[in-house]
Amino acid sequence: MHTALALEEQRAGLLSAVSRTVPPSPVELLRHWLDLHALGHLVLLAFRDDRAWFADMLREVGVTRWTPTHALIRERVMSIAVRGAWAVGELGEIGLQLYLPLLRSPVQPLDHFDAVLALAMVALRRSEFRPVVRSAVDQWASRATDAWGLRSELANSVALLLDDPHAASVWALEWCRRVLSRTGATNAAALPEQASGLGMSEDDLLILAGLNDAGDCAVAVEDLFPAVLLLSQVVGRTAREFYAPQALIPALTKPWTVEVGVDVLRRSIPHVGVSRFNVL
């Protein structure tokens, strides 16, 4: 929680500069980029084994309307968001207790997205929770007030994920293929063979490209949300399996630049870049 609060303070200063079109410090931008990815790694480490500590912390702190994924989703980076969702899936019923009230509350649109993604992961992991999650998401979608239909797109994504996980995984795999093609790797044609030499299938290679994508997690593609459908490729993974062999990392990720750092921040500014989630 302290790490997330520190990231919040750091982010606020950078957002202020970007929203005023003042060039932010490249050093601070890079620090923010590294810190938010560190938080994504930490959440995998924190929930990979015993989760009893989390329930104990909730009882001691007594927070309301707080979620362990808020700081991750707020950044709108796909790789960070799916790591957070995986962690919530490990919480089971505690995840329902945290996120169902959030979905029913008049909070910010991105908080609702946070709740939908988390609940979808819990329901995918624990089939006994699927009816209550489907009902909650459908009711939330029926209260849509925006003209873009984003709530229905999210609800449809959750329905596909939970009702037909195989179809969701096929869709997600094709999306991952597009992600890999956008990395601009000079040896893209040779990557499957290289992956095979490391004991990986081509599908494994594609999935790792998706799980480490720096794109916007809050954007729909063909009326479906990749972030939701990608959970079909996350559910059976261990924390370690989110990471590619070192030899493949340069080909699966785009190098950080100042432009990349600014683009991530601009996702949170209304009317700048892709900002439909500001009116969900």
pTM equals: 0.87
Domain ranges of the chain: 2-279
Question: Which amino acid, residue 48?
Answer: R
pLDDT digits over 105-122, tens only? 888 889 999 999 999 999
Residue 188's pLDDT band (cuts 50, 70, 90):
low
Cβ(35)–Cβ(226) below 8 Å: no
pLDDT digits over 206-253, tens only? 999 999 999 999 999 999 999 999 999 999 899 899 988 888 887 787
Question: Does residue 10 carry a pLDDT above 90?
Answer: no
Cβ(232)–Cβ(168) below 8 Å: yes
Tokens 């499957």 locate to 192
Give the relative orientation of helices 130-142 and 93-103 as an angle to the nearest 10 degrees: 10
* Rounded Cα–Cα distance for residues 133 and 139 (Å): 10
Specify the range with the lowest mean pLDDT, choosing from 1-15, 86-100, 125-139, 163-177: 1-15
Residues 61-83 have a mean pLDDT of 83
Residue 274's pLDDT band (cuts 50, 70, 90):
very low
